[in-house]
Structure 1
């Protein structure tokens, strides 16, 4: 591990311009603003909230997301669950949904974790019930696992569509199994990232509700209380548009993960503003090429991630959004100007004027530092071993260390 990572806390009190690069910079005021909005929305609606910890994967942000009110999370990795145990010890967290369909390699570790907090599994196949029952024969003291049944409402990732003949069979199999019990129904509208208006996102949110309610009709025991969990960051932004009343016996909860940070993908939905982006990557300008009007920075694929959106490139210079990372190699990126049509769109969204004839030699010089807005905060954050947390003046006030591994 290099010096900057071993000594990240030594930069507390310094301006961003003095950080080693590439560095992940987090705006604490923006994080607090974004998390407060969603906590207020779910409180007003009187529903439960289950934050997904997959984006920043750290104790400080997880605590912020829970807001001293909510006591359950979603985690995509065992490392995230282990990391969150600090919040269990402090009495702030009670349960965790392991957000992938359960696998054989994860089960022994999940069983160990049940000694510390309630673990809920994700199920979308009868073969997973076979797995749980087989595991029960080897560990007969294991209690029946509470499970969310995953419903596919259009994202075509995990889950079963509501008209699949496999869905009622799976529900009935779980209800008759000694190894599992139905906790509720869960869906994630990943396709909501394609929404570009509040109306479109609200329509996806409504389809989520309808999907989990429809799935619940296959339960044999109609009187038991279940949880229906819906959400994604785009639909969470419009949760106040929720319509209709759930049937009796159902508790509604919202889940979302990216919303504390947001990113260019979220800005592209028009549901958040550019100022609601909490993550930036700091990089050094290492070379300038006037003949091709480009510059080289020391942030490439392993600092930024190779994600895209309607915003072109792999990152946008925060104070000069006409310039973006147009190409990348592993450790370096190339800054260039966008086409006229793209420039106009970016300028409109960012609320700035962009000079399409700007020259690189008048914009950047070797030794400059640039701050980049990034395309996908979840993947970019996974590349960095320390976060530099700044105030409104971009002075480092804290450093946070994320949970790493699987």
Structure 2
């Protein structure tokens, strides 16, 4: 019987492939290394766990909280592993960037494994009714101690949220997103919108929960010093925002925003990787009292070529995510191969490591260019035992490709095949789209 991809079930794939070599999988397929996944998660949690904050003035927090952005590998199994309680105080705090990610996570809210969800982008007006429905469902039917929060960077977004509140939805709490120099999203403390947001909080039932800063530019760093510089930039922007809120409180009429227990949420995978108590101590003299520090990151569960390029002791062997592709043609006049993985299997992301993707265990071979359904393998660097003198593959051979940006590549695939020692051990179904 011929089945379409829409008809194939998880159990069908488990029955057919679990217990067999990854080389038996169909192509293109997305493969997750269980060992690398667990190793990468543990590395970030362990790093945060040893960073003692207790020396800061009036600060009772010992280690920073971890909030996991789940957009990289959108499988429930990854979310459960990455957000599991640990010494770093993970405590079920996540960021979702789509409504579908929230829908998929609801079983973990019901079980108590996830307690705090941040919808991590300023909400589209048309999304607010559904976000309000999610929040009501979470708090009344699944777990009364759970919370769904918003990110805000413009006062009109508060008005939209208030419209939903007046319509019967529960009151929102939110993070105020601060632009710390990358100009991707967020307001600044000198912008009129910053004061307008604080003023509108005073006249509503909405609650400011924290400050959110993300150094997206940290992906462009080359070494430890660069990543540390981006981390300091995040911290400085968050502290400046808290100080600006305090200043606004002291000059405005009435109580605008309660400063106590504000969360300063900072982070990206490079900055989370270099977080240390020593860096925090540099800010000790003006650390805001009665605040909590939270580190957010997402790509760390997988890593990719962009992360390896940051020079933070990450190797290609640390990359969790691979794409299995098959050699479909050979062009001897230019020593190039065709594989059946193109834009829709790999994406078309730039990076400082050359190639759309790198062929694992074949030095110098990369996916040089891609069309919709196929890519071209080319050897950019000849090694001492150069493969260019011989034909390293024949038609029908399979290769493992390491992507530039795992967040995008993983979103191209309906299934994740999980391997250990090159044997398929499980199949995971990620959520996709919005």
Flag whether TM exceeds 0.5 (same fold): yes
Gap change, CA 1:364 and 1:5, over 3 Å in 2 = farther
8 Å CA contact 1:314–1:375 kept in 2: the answer is yes
Q: Does 1:207 align with 2:210?
A: no
1:255 corresponds to which of 296, 303, 308: 296
Q: Does 1:8 align with 2:13?
A: yes
| Residue 373 of structure 1: how far off its partner (Å) | 0.7
8 Å CA contact 1:4–1:20 kept in 2: the answer is no
Instruction: Tell me which residue corresponds to 2:114.
Output: 93
| Residue 194 of structure 1: how far off its partner (Å) | 0.6
Instruction: Tell me which residue corresponds to 2:322.
Output: 280
- Please list every run of at least 4 consecutive aligned residues from structure 1 whose deviation after the TM superposition is greater than 4 angstroms: 353-357
Secondary structure of 1:39's counterpart equals helix
8 Å CA contact 1:39–1:67 kept in 2: the answer is no
Secondary structure of 1:364's counterpart equals coil
| Residue 174 of structure 1: how far off its partner (Å) | 2.0
Instruction: Tell me which residue corresponds to 1:52.
Output: 69
| Residue 306 of structure 1: how far off its partner (Å) | 0.3
Aligned pairs for 1:379-398 (under 5 A) are 379-391=408-420, 393-398=421-426
2:94 corresponds to which of 73, 85, 91: 73
The CA deviation string for residues 279-302 of structure 1, in whole angstroms up to 9 with x for no partner, is 111001011110111111000000
Q: Distance in 1 between matches of 2:8 and 2:310?
A: 34
| Residue 16 of structure 1: how far off its partner (Å) | 0.9
8 Å CA contact 2:84–2:113 kept in 1: the answer is no
Instruction: Tell me which residue corresponds to 2:203.
Output: 176
| Residue 73 of structure 1: how far off its partner (Å) | 0.4
Range that drifts further, 188-197 or 209-218: 209-218
Q: Distance in 2 between matches of 1:208 and 1:375?
A: 25
Unaligned runs of 5+ in 2: 52-62, 139-145, 250-256
Instruction: Tell me which residue corresponds to 1:243.
Output: 280
The CA deviation string for residues 111-170 of structure 1, in whole angstroms up to 9 with x for no partner, is 111121411000000111121222233x1x333210100001122111012332321222
Range that drifts further, 192-201 or 40-49: 40-49
- How much is the aligned-residue C-alpha RMSD, in angstroms? 1.7
1:155 corresponds to which of 139, 159, 182: 182
Q: Distance in 2 between matches of 1:43 and 1:123?
A: 29
Secondary structure of 1:390's counterpart equals strand
Secondary structure of 1:363's counterpart equals coil
8 Å CA contact 2:357–2:366 kept in 1: the answer is yes
| Residue 395 of structure 1: how far off its partner (Å) | 0.5
Range that drifts further, 88-97 or 250-259: 88-97
Q: Does 1:403 align with 2:431?
A: yes
Q: Distance in 2 between matches of 1:390 and 1:197?
A: 31
8 Å CA contact 2:133–2:169 kept in 1: the answer is no
Range that drifts further, 209-218 or 23-32: 209-218
Gap change, CA 1:223 and 1:80, over 3 Å in 2 = closer
| Residue 258 of structure 1: how far off its partner (Å) | 0.3
Range that drifts further, 59-68 or 259-268: 59-68
Secondary structure of 2:358's counterpart equals strand
1:358 corresponds to which of 388, 392, 417: 388
| Residue 4 of structure 1: how far off its partner (Å) | 9.9
* TM superposition score normalised by structure 1: 0.92
Matched positions, count: 389
Instruction: Tell me which residue corresponds to 1:299.
Output: 341
1:335 corresponds to which of 363, 377, 385: 377
* TM superposition score normalised by structure 2: 0.86
The CA deviation string for residues 228-277 of structure 1, in whole angstroms up to 9 with x for no partner, is 10000111110125323332111000000000100000000011122210
Q: Distance in 2 between matches of 1:223 and 1:331?
A: 53
Range that drifts further, 28-37 or 124-133: 124-133
Q: Distance in 2 between matches of 1:278 and 1:366?
A: 27
Unaligned runs of 5+ in 1: 345-352
Instruction: Tell me which residue corresponds to 1:349.
Output: none
1:145 corresponds to which of 172, 183, 191: 172
Q: Distance in 1 between matches of 2:400 and 2:82?
A: 26
Secondary structure of 1:320's counterpart equals coil
Range that drifts further, 394-403 or 6-15: 6-15
Secondary structure of 1:158's counterpart equals coil
